[in-house]
Amino acid sequence: MSEAYLATLFGLKGKVAVVTGGSGVLGAAMSAGLARAGARVAVLARRLEPAAAVVAAIEAEGGEGLALSADVRERAQVEAACAAILDRWGQVDILVNAAGGNMPGATLAPDATLDNLDPEAFRAVFDLNLMGTLLPSLVFGQTMIDAGGQGTIVNISSMAAQRALTRVAGYSAAKAAVDNLTRWMAVELARRYGPGLRVNAIAPGFFVGEQNRALLLKPDGTHTARGATIIAHTPAGRFGDPGDLVATLLWLCGPGAAFVNGVVVPVDGGFAAFSGV
């Protein structure tokens, strides 16, 4: 299979991609993958220094990047970031909504009762994951509309959206809302502005990041009880590697997926397919 043919399916040369939460473990891997496929990549994070480190790595490989500080819960900050990207490159073709996460108060400890769930923390997790997906989609989606209705948005969901997982109440509900928002926006944008605007999502399985490391791994690197249970229910027999998300992301963003809209693709080592029996 020729490189020229692969480029017609997955190539992103000349495209401009924006990755929110781009300094996180998964966001950084996806930013690097987009750059390697030829895209110019704007890396958005709440703190500029980690975003700049991701961009430095992209540029060390010959890619082109832009580090920006923005809180995805604040529309004015997202709009300022969008303006900076348009000033630099004049377009936005791809948005990856990778910003998100959990908070302790929205998580139930194994011995906790329901009234230990903090409604304010629950609300904060919704703001980060749902509003933090909606606001960038509105801002950057408008630039895609203004450019003639061409572009793609990829949201980052979770296995927690699809199946009831113990403890992570707020995060699960918020990511389920992201799944619904993905389908709703896919339908509305295509109906109103044409099939050149697509919205899809990736639902990662279990990947080790800073927020969940202590839940999944002991200090010596062996599995906690929860981590061992997850591995036992993952046919692949391991946690995901951040690079495992890149091929799916490139497919959804590339020209070969022009007829793919409104889907949530699991990248989970078979976790969602396995009944446990």
Q: Quick check: 253 and 152 in contact, CB under 8 A?
A: yes
Q: Which residue is catalytic, options 140, 171, 206, 239?
A: 171
Catalytic residue flag (residue 171): yes
**3-state SS class at 217:** strand
DSSP one-letter string for 239-263: PBPGGGGHHHHHHHHSGGGTT--S-
The token pair that represents 3 in the structure block = 């490189």
What are the distances in angstroms from CA 168 to CA 110, 123, 209, 273? 11, 13, 15, 20
* Nearest in space to 138 (alpha carbons), one of 226, 9, 130: 130
How is the beta sheet containing 264-267 ordered, strand by strand? 65-69, 40-45, 16-20, 94-97, 151-156, 197-204, 264-267
Residue 203 to residue 264: CA distance in whole angstroms: 6
Q: Among positive and negative, which fits the CA dihedral 201, 206, 208, 214?
A: positive
Q: Which two tokens stand for residue 236?
A: 């692949």
Burial class (CB in 10 A: 0-12, 13-18, 19+), 172: buried
Tell me the catalytic residues: 171
